[in-house]
């Protein structure tokens, strides 16, 4: 059976800094029926009150795989999230990510990946990490994977006014990265296809300065388990 693989990735969809309930909209066309869709979100902004990201398209709401947020300075925050939709309908998908907060100015971006070769219940391991006094950008360990055939998605968001250095995590392939000195926020989105159950930890290295705060997430999605049926006999 083929390992999980990315079929296509959407263009970057930016949050337009429109205020409370800010949204980004990513698009995929020609999606194959029953494939998995994985949405990666990075956000930074000025926040009053708690915040969370939700994702949906015309087929329905996406399931949250993992999400974390760090309050960097009392009003400035960094946020990272991964959501997914199983058994996708064929054709076009317009995927809306909404930053649900009472009052804030949101910046950041979304990318959505179509993935083939995953199990019907694909989510396996996750990990989150964040800090306000460190520039060692890492998701932390997922722990040992349940399956030797999986695909991992990792992303992290930085609340920082200065340019930063972001390295590609060992073993991962970059999907998008922003290192410039901009209020739109810095960060990276990456993935890795694995063939062993070894624990994963996406590590983007360290910048030359300590940012206000950063948030990082990783989620792994497994292929269908193979082998003999439990309690059955093959003749």
Residue 164 near residue 209, CB atoms below 8 Å: yes
Residue 82 near residue 136, CB atoms below 8 Å: no
pLDDT at 18: 57
pLDDT at 200: 98
Identify which of 189, 137, 190 has the alpha carbon closest to the alpha carbon of residue 164: 137
Please count the CA atoms within 13 angstroms of the CA of 75 that sit on its side-chain side: 4
141 secondary structure, DSSP code: -
pLDDT at 184: 62
Angle made by CA atoms 35, 202, 21, in degrees to the nearest 5: 65
102 by Cβ neighbours in 10 Å (0-12 / 13-18 / 19+) ranks as exposed
10-14, 155-159, 227-231: least confidently modelled range: 227-231
Torsion of CA 3, 221, 195, 218, to 10 degrees: 140
Residue 82 has pLDDT above 90, yes or no: yes
Residue 124 has pLDDT above 70, yes or no: yes
Residue 116 near residue 193, CB atoms below 8 Å: no
Residue 65 near residue 126, CB atoms below 8 Å: yes
pLDDT at 52: 82
């Amino acid at each position: 059976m083929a390992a999980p693989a990315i079929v296509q990735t959407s263009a970057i969809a930016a949050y337009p800094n429109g205020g409370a309930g800010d949204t980004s909209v990513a698009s995929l066309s020609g999606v194959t029926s029953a494939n998995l869709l994985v949405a990666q979100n990075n956000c930074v902004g000025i926040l009053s009150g708690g915040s969370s990201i939700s994702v949906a398209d015309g087929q329905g709401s996406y399931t949250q795989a993992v999400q974390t947020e760090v309050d960097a300075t009392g009003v400035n925050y960094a946020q990272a999230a991964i959501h997914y939709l199983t058994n996708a309908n064929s054709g076009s998908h317009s995927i809306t990510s909404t930053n649900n907060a009472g009052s804030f100015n949101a910046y950041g971006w979304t990318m959505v990946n179509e993935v083939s070769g995953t199990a019907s219940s694909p989510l396996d391991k996750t990990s989150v990490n964040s800090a306000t006094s460190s520039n060692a950008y890492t998701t932390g360990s997922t722990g040992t994977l349940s399956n030797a055939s999986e695909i991992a998605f990792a992303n992290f968001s930085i609340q920082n006014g200065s340019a930063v250095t972001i390295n590609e995590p060992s073993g991962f392939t970059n999907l998008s990265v922003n290192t410039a000195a901009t209020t739109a926020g810095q960060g990276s989105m990456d993935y890795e296809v694995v063939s062993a159950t070894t624990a994963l930890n996406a590590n983007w290295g360290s910048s030359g300065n300590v940012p206000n705060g950063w948030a990082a997430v990783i989620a792994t999605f497994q292929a269908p388990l193979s082998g003999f049926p439990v309690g059955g006999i093959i003749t």
